Structure 1
Amino acid sequence: MKAADIFDLKGRVALVTGASGGLGLRFAEVLAANGASVALVARRPEKLAEARAKIEKAGGKAVGIEADVLDRAQMNRAFDQAEKAFGTVTILVNNAGVAHSTRAIDLSEEEWRRITSINIDAVFFWAQEAARRMLKANAKGSIINIASVLGLSVSKGTVAYAAAKAAVIQMTKTLGLELGFKGVRVNAIAPGWFITDINRDYLTGAGASMTRDIPVGRFGQDGDLDGPLLLLASDAGAFMAGTTVVVDGGQVVAIRA
């Protein structure tokens, strides 16, 4: 079988949270470029419009849906709108998330709950809703949770984020166990340090020396997550469930060595 066939997503409907920029937008673009119709979910309508226009200009199909991932009513409406536009969502990329840089003794309860609510609660409930709808429609599908290398190792000032991403990895294992035999595969991607608009100034400035701890000698770039994403979204990953694909340039291996 040719790679173009096994990674083909024609006829699939994808929903990507946090899709207005950064990794989420890249995920949406890659899914659309490989045939999926994509529902872009985020809170910034102007950025959603730009993202949709970019995908459509490249020949893809997309719809922008404004929603807060912590609002259950907005979540349900987002799935309804995606279904109205394209049909049952059969690929969910649970990408929306937030980080912090506060040391543990200074972390407020409010900040702890904000980080864990978005990075744990929202991930679970969007996965739950996607699975419920796939099963109701008797449709096989794939749920891809975006974890982090910090769910496997830690650094100072990341206690809430690291704990949340570790929870995502364990959640992925459990959902993979429960849903795999029903035709809904649940897996995760754990990226290492990737340069995005949010961290570009830091990683190209004061944080540039961090590449010394990455065996391949650089930070992640556009394209480095395309293959893992397509593997888990397509039939190429048909026998994968409950696993986390680490894409970190060898960082975790170096820490454990």
Structure 2
Amino acid sequence: MNTPVPALDLSGTRAVVVGGNSGIGLATAGALLSQGCLVRITGRDPATMDNALASLTPWSDAVTGQCFDINDRVQSQEFLDAIRNEWGTMDLLVNCAGISRRAAPQELIDDHWDEVVATNLSSQFKFVRDAYPLLRGHQRAARVVLIGSMTSIFGTAIGAAYAASKGGVVQLARSLAAAWAGDNILVNAVLPGWVRTPLTDAGRLSHPDYYSRIDERIPLGRWAEP
């Protein structure tokens, strides 16, 4: 995890990083903490959460973690209720939650398609929609950042559901930005390229030939680190 970023005073900013217990989400949490944010990270796996919090020990007084499944509406609402009770409001929401099911399109089963679209797109919409009351009414603009992917632009032979869901994230961000600008909520999508994360490492193990071809297309000859 590479956390050094240019100095930016975000002292007092209350940030939630969904999927912040690994990969890009964990690196994002570290960067925000280094700039003075109060951060709560989320994830599904308790062991992964423990490791994430251990890696953020330098900011242990400013970071907390909570495990829940973003696809579970009850758990998601309980999380938002806890934020409302503890913080009263939310200044920044970064949604990094995402999964992939790798297979050629003709071999991708319905359940795997539905699972990926539910986690990567539908849950992002429902969560940010339900977080809207916590984001609106700020004196300075609240921020929402949705993590998309470059595969939403150029596709991927073994990740149709992933690429399609991330394309939906881009359009969701545009729609939210248009709808909520008047509420002083700034919404953006970030589309990472090839980044080493637990998600992409799993793909490298399951489809080594495909990922070797990706390596050959990267001018620097290596993937980015979060």
TM range (shorter): 0.7 to 0.9
SS in 2 for 1:97: coil
SS in 1 for 2:90: coil
Unaligned runs of 5+ in 1: 223-257
What is the aligned residue count?
217
Residue in 2 aligned with 1:219? 223
Residue in 2 aligned with 1:197? 198
**1:28 Cα deviation after fit:** 1.0
2: distance between equivalents of 1:185 and 1:90?
A: 11
Asked if residue 82 in structure 1 is aligned to residue 71 in structure 2, the reply is no
Rate the CA distance shift 1:41–1:116 in 2: closer, same or farther, 3 A.
same
In the alignment, is the contact (CA less than 8 A) between 1:32 and 1:60 conserved in 2? no
Deviations 1:103-140 (A, max 9, x none): 11111111111010001111101111222222266773
Asked if residue 210 in structure 1 is aligned to residue 214 in structure 2, the reply is yes
**1:58 Cα deviation after fit:** 3.9
Rate the CA distance shift 1:221–1:59 in 2: closer, same or farther, 3 A.
same
2: distance between equivalents of 1:47 and 1:23?
A: 14
Asked if residue 71 in structure 1 is aligned to residue 72 in structure 2, the reply is yes
Aligned sequence identity (%): 27
In the alignment, is the contact (CA less than 8 A) between 1:35 and 1:60 conserved in 2? no
2: distance between equivalents of 1:27 and 1:214?
A: 23
1: distance between equivalents of 2:66 and 2:138?
A: 22
Amino acid at match of 1:177: A
Residue in 2 aligned with 1:177? 178
**1:209 Cα deviation after fit:** 4.4
Unaligned runs of 5+ in 2: 1-5
**1:69 Cα deviation after fit:** 0.4
- TM-score normalised over the length of structure 1: 0.77
Residue in 2 aligned with 1:20? 21
Deviations 1:28-75 (A, max 9, x none): 111111111111111112322332243243465111111100111111
1: distance between equivalents of 2:139 and 2:68?
A: 26
Residue in 1 aligned with 2:31? 30
SS in 2 for 1:186: strand
Residue in 1 aligned with 2:151? 150
**1:22 Cα deviation after fit:** 1.5
In the alignment, is the contact (CA less than 8 A) between 2:84 and 2:134 conserved in 1? no
After TM superposition, the structure 1 stretch with the greater mean CA deviation from structure 2, 46-55 or 99-108, is 46-55
Amino acid at match of 2:46: P
In the alignment, is the contact (CA less than 8 A) between 2:143 and 2:185 conserved in 1? yes
Amino acid at match of 1:120: L
Asked if residue 168 in structure 1 is aligned to residue 169 in structure 2, the reply is yes
**1:184 Cα deviation after fit:** 0.5
- TM-score normalised over the length of structure 2: 0.87
